[in-house]
Amino acid sequence: MKEQPKYKVVSQSGLFKKRYKLTKKFRIRTGICPSETISLLKNNMNIIIYTGGQIDLFSGFLWDGPSGPTFDTVDSIRASLVHDALCHLSDEGYLPPYYNHIIDVLLKIHCIEDGMNKWRAYTWYFCVRLWRAARRFKRRKQKIRVIRIVEENQNER
């Protein structure tokens, strides 16, 4: 098992929904190498990713832990932390979309490295990929709808 982040549970709603907070800086190599160092230092999302692929997550970083068809277990915490941080960078536009597949593969790799059953890790990875595809489809539909509304408004003039 690789070095695990130091964290505490800061809130819990229901049996399975927890929110975590880093209590100590966590550093890990990701293999994602942006062309320049990216610093996102706001609220509780303090992240720096360096050109060499190393990411620093600072004390106070909040994340929602494992999501989807999984439980919050030791073998999923590190993977969920790194995945959430990288997805946040991607969602905010700091990382280009072509990194999304790599981000999801890292989730699976970290789970297996931390002792998760391969079947469970692959299932979680597959569900994350499905969720990302559904989200992309939903965004595309919303963009098409906005374009149609704008075109309709222009035609009425």
| Residue ranges of domains in the chain | 7-156
Span of 4-13, 42-51, 133-142 with lowest mean pLDDT: 133-142
Run of H or E residues at 55 = strand 54-57
DSSP H helices in 36-99: 74-91
- What confidence tier does 131 reach under pLDDT thresholds 50, 70, 90? confident
Average pLDDT, the chain: 84
DSSP state of 52: T
Model confidence, pTM: 0.80
pLDDT of residue 69: 63
Closest by CA to 62, choosing from 75, 40, 83, 46, is: 46
pLDDT tens-digit map of 30-81: 999 999 999 998 877 899 999 999 999 999 999 988 876 667 888 999 999 9
